[in-house]
Structure 1
Amino acid sequence: MTHKIAILGASGYTGAELIRLIATHPEMEIVALGANSKAGMEMAEVFPHLRHLSLPKLVKIDQIDFDQVDLCFCALPHATSQAVIKELPKTLKIVDLSADFRLRDPEEYARWYGGQHQALECQNEAIYGLTEFYRDDIKSARLVAGTGCNAATGQYALRPLIQAGVIDLDEIIIDLKTGVSGAGRSLKENLLHAELSEGAHAYAVGGTHRHLAEFDQEFSAIAGRPVKVQFTPHLLPANRGIVATIYVKGDPAEVHQTLAGAYADETFLEVLPLGQTPSTRHIRGSNFCHIGVTGDRIEGRAIVITALDNLTKGSSGQALQNANLMLGCDEDTGLMLAPVFP
């Protein structure tokens, strides 16, 4: 069976990444590409690296006949996404890549995103899209909310440790570095080559990054009490990839054993031998996430390092993984591409 797919926001980085992945999917066909700002253009004009594919022309979202679509990926900015999704057919399966449906509490959404949620009826049915932990709910979901890429990176390192009670919940520091594509394709002065290259800098310092809301929500739910982590992201002069160095109070061998056991049967989550650490260059362009654990010179301290590609496992690859579950496909279909190296 071939499932008919629409992608909204197809002219952005995550939209292009979805097309790249779906091109290898034997059970999906892209029948509509929405991109209001570039409507009327061919995808080859917007992304020449996709010119070998036979794709529909970009159109305005209101020109798409959603009655002919089985599943829609929504790769639009937050706030825009909720306005569009609440008008889509109620029978349409949707995977949203924005932040609009990640937070269960509408007051938390308003606090972190600066405005009242405008599609609460959709929010109430949305399932959080961290696939390995919400797999059973995702299978029967109509609307899945993709995670933040930084939030996914930190959660893969920490969720099993919090669940198992092997670390001090009040002693968690996440020091994260991310590639520039995580900021999207819109023109921004601070992302110009002359502004960004040959340097790195911290941003959203002091607990202001919006992905902290996901950490608060998910970690507190696991622990059964409030958990707040320290989190500082840094922008790297690199196109893709996230690497997070996470400092915890716990026995390194126990931390490693807990993660290795939790992910032993997971296709895309690879826990390295104790003492080895991952690199973004080893997961580039793939849906794999590598996790390393090492000890610290201070007794009873462990360092967990996680690496994934923000556009793939952190966003579009995760979205396709979820869509596979929603449509009854094998979960890894279209996602077994090897990382690109060097």
Structure 2
Amino acid sequence: MKAAVIGGTGYSAIELIRLLHHHPYAHLDTIVSHSNGGTELHEIYPHVTNLIDTPLQALDIKKLSQKIQVVFFATPSGVSKEMIPAFLDEGIRCIDLSGDFRLRSQQSYEKWYRHQAAEETYLKKAVYGLSEINEAQIKGSTFISNPGCYPTATLLALIPALQLGFIDQDNIIIDAKSGVSGAGRGLSLATHYGEVNENVKAYKLGAHQHIPEIEQTLQTACHFSKSITFTTHLVPMTRGIMCTIYTNLTKQVATEDITLAYTEYYQDHPFVRIRPSGTVPATKEVYGSNFCDIGFHADERTGKLTIVSVIDNLIKGASGQAIQNLNLMNGWDVRTGLLNIPLYP
């Protein structure tokens, strides 16, 4: 299957390119970059020298549609909604890593993303690509809206507990931390070395665009009707996300029982790894991989459950999950091209 990546110079894009390079069933045919057309990829990313010889090209939808079968959009929000309809109309499969099609409500998108929303017809066509939860809908689909990085870590941690009745819907607090690569490759004062180094900073309090995405998915998967408290922090590391979630238990239950229940819930999903009781994961343990590792502590003293979920924001939180969805769309083994040992240390 011939693939194209649009937005080919960002961090998620270069990870997509790396994963496609090793995929046995998908061939990277075209890399599109509006700002760097005609440039060789190794001029921007020297680490691909002698490995990737695909030059960056300007976008020509008609020409591209004649030779590729799937397009990955690694573009900023507000861009893919202008391109995807044309590709879908040409019968090309699309996997969008931006947020343009994640929210079903046009009004909600415009409130949280501050861009004009995509046409409602195409919003309805998009399948939300949370691979482990929406596997049945993803299989055989032609248009995937890839989840955000924070929602991936949060939702994989929360959905089983809500569905299995271990926690109530009130007072769900999500304390989320991300490495600097989550802000993208663009230059900004917020990600300047002098601002980030030896510093931890909370940002977008009560205003993060992933809040409605999390609530919408919980509503669909768990009949969730409340609001979450979601606070994000920028921490001085390159990549990785940790979500520490605090919830109220509905009954007295041991950590071992929660661990067993999650292990059974995800037993057919190889990229979710449940930690043994008494241990919790760290971001370094999923670095460079498509794994989401989850650990728990059920506190009998307070009646609360703490869930710790970690992912690599650029892999399971973006490009890796996009490849996982490609595998599901085509009926391939979900592990194809993704079963890499995490980098350590």
Q: What band does the TM-score fall into relative to the shorter chain?
A: over 0.9
Aligned to 1:195: 195
2:88 equivalent to 1:125: no
2:269 equivalent to 1:270: no
Task: Give, in angstroms, the shift of residue 265 of structure 1.
Answer: 2.1
Q: Is the 8 A contact 1:157 1:305 kept in 2?
A: yes
The alignment yields a C-alpha RMSD, in angstroms, of 1.4
Task: Give, in angstroms, the shift of residue 166 of structure 1.
Answer: 1.2
Aligned to 1:171: 171
2:137 equivalent to 1:137: yes
Q: CA separation in 2, counterparts of 1:163 and 1:143?
A: 27
1:113-150 deviation line (CA, Å, top 9, x unaligned)? 12331332221100001001111111121110000100
Aligned to 1:11: 9
Partner residue of 2:57 out of 44, 56, 59: 59
Partner residue of 1:47 out of 28, 31, 45: 45
Task: Give, in angstroms, the shift of residue 258 of structure 1.
Answer: 2.6
Q: CA separation in 2, counterparts of 1:224 and 1:132?
A: 18
- How many residue pairs match? The answer is 339
Q: CA separation in 2, counterparts of 1:62 and 1:155?
A: 37
Secondary structure, aligned partner of 2:237: coil
Q: Is the 8 A contact 1:252 1:301 kept in 2?
A: no
Task: Give, in angstroms, the shift of residue 88 of structure 1.
Answer: 2.0
Partner residue of 2:329 out of 326, 329, 333: 326
Secondary structure, aligned partner of 2:87: coil
Q: Is the 8 A contact 1:252 1:293 kept in 2?
A: no
Q: Which amino acid aligns with 1:278?
A: P
Task: Give, in angstroms, the shift of residue 225 of structure 1.
Answer: 4.5
- Could you list the runs of 5+ residues in structure 2 that have no partner in the other structure? none
Task: Give, in angstroms, the shift of residue 54 of structure 1.
Answer: 3.4
Partner residue of 2:24 out of 26, 32, 35: 26
Q: Which amino acid aligns with 2:288?
A: G
In structure 2, the CA distance between the partners of 1:242 and 1:86, relative to structure 1 (3 Å rule), is: same
Q: Which amino acid aligns with 2:244?
A: T
Q: Which amino acid aligns with 1:43?
A: L
Task: Give, in angstroms, the shift of residue 89 of structure 1.
Answer: 4.5
Using the TM superposition, name which of 39-48 and 52-61 deviates more: 52-61
Using structure 1 for the length normalisation, give the TM-score.
0.96
Q: Is the 8 A contact 1:282 1:339 kept in 2?
A: yes
2:318 equivalent to 1:315: yes
Q: CA separation in 2, counterparts of 1:263 and 1:126?
A: 25
Identity of aligned residues (%): 37
Partner residue of 2:306 out of 299, 303, 306: 303
Aligned to 2:86: 87
Q: CA separation in 2, counterparts of 1:285 and 1:76?
A: 21
Q: CA separation in 2, counterparts of 1:209 and 1:219?
A: 17
Task: Give, in angstroms, the shift of residue 287 of structure 1.
Answer: 0.3
- Could you list the runs of 5+ residues in structure 1 that have no partner in the other structure? none
Secondary structure, aligned partner of 2:168: coil
Q: Is the 8 A contact 1:252 1:303 kept in 2?
A: no
